[in-house]
């Protein structure tokens, strides 16, 4: 492309290069996959979201560490739940209240380093009612140790 621009715009070479740079930035670079957007923990989180929607409590509970903590922020289940028994109780209530669900998953971001991974996902769960959440999951040594379920009506979906 570099050889074509001077032939097309011999007097405006720098303008042509500037326009080409803007074209490249506007049409592709922002959509290239990056390690911060997808990875193994994000794949686990996607399966987790699907298990919640399917009402598969065993699959939902299977990834928790023994000392896991959940912060449910907003809505009738608002509260802090510590340990698998308490977290299992809240998931049981949510799944029973919602019935069968469909999901719309928006942006999913993953941050990772050798000590753990954090996944942030914008999700709309549509069952008996639509619940839009920003869902934050933190994994250490392959186990879910912390999650925040932030009810947010402004999440797209």
Q: What is the pLDDT of residues 35-76, one digit of tens each?
A: 344 578 999 999 999 999 999 999 999 999 999 999 999 999
Check pLDDT > 80 for residue 84: yes
Cα–Cα distance, 133 to 139 (Å, whole number): 19
What local confidence, expressed as pLDDT, does residue 39 receive? 72
Mean pLDDT of 18-37: 36
Cβ atoms of 49 and 60 closer than 8 Å: no
Give the tokens for residue 12: 């405006």
Q: Which helix (H) or strand (E) holds 149?
A: strand 143-151
Q: What's the whole-number average pLDDT of the chain?
A: 81
From residue 18, alpha-carbon distances to 1, 2, 11, 26, 150 in Å are 13, 12, 13, 12, 42
Largest CA distance in the chain: 73
pTM: 0.75
């Amino acid at each position: 492309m570099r050889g074509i621009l001077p032939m097309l715009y011999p007097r405006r070479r720098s303008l042509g290069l500037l326009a080409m740079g803007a074209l490249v930035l506007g049409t592709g670079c922002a959509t290239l996959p990056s390690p911060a957007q997808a990875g193994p923990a994000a794949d686990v989180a996607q399966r987790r979201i699907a298990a919640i929607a399917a009402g598969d409590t065993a699959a939902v509970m299977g990834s928790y560490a023994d000392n896991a903590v959940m912060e449910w922020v907003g809505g009738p289940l608002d509260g802090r739940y510590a340990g698998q028994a308490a977290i299992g109780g809240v998931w049981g209530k949510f799944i029973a209240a919602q019935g069968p669900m469909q999901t719309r998953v928006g942006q999913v971001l993953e941050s990772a380093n050798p000590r753990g991974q954090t996944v942030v996902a914008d999700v709309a769960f549509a069952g008996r009612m639509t619940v839009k959440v920003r869902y934050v999951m933190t994994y250490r040594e392959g186990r879910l140790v912390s999650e925040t379920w932030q009810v947010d009506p402004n999440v797209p979906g």
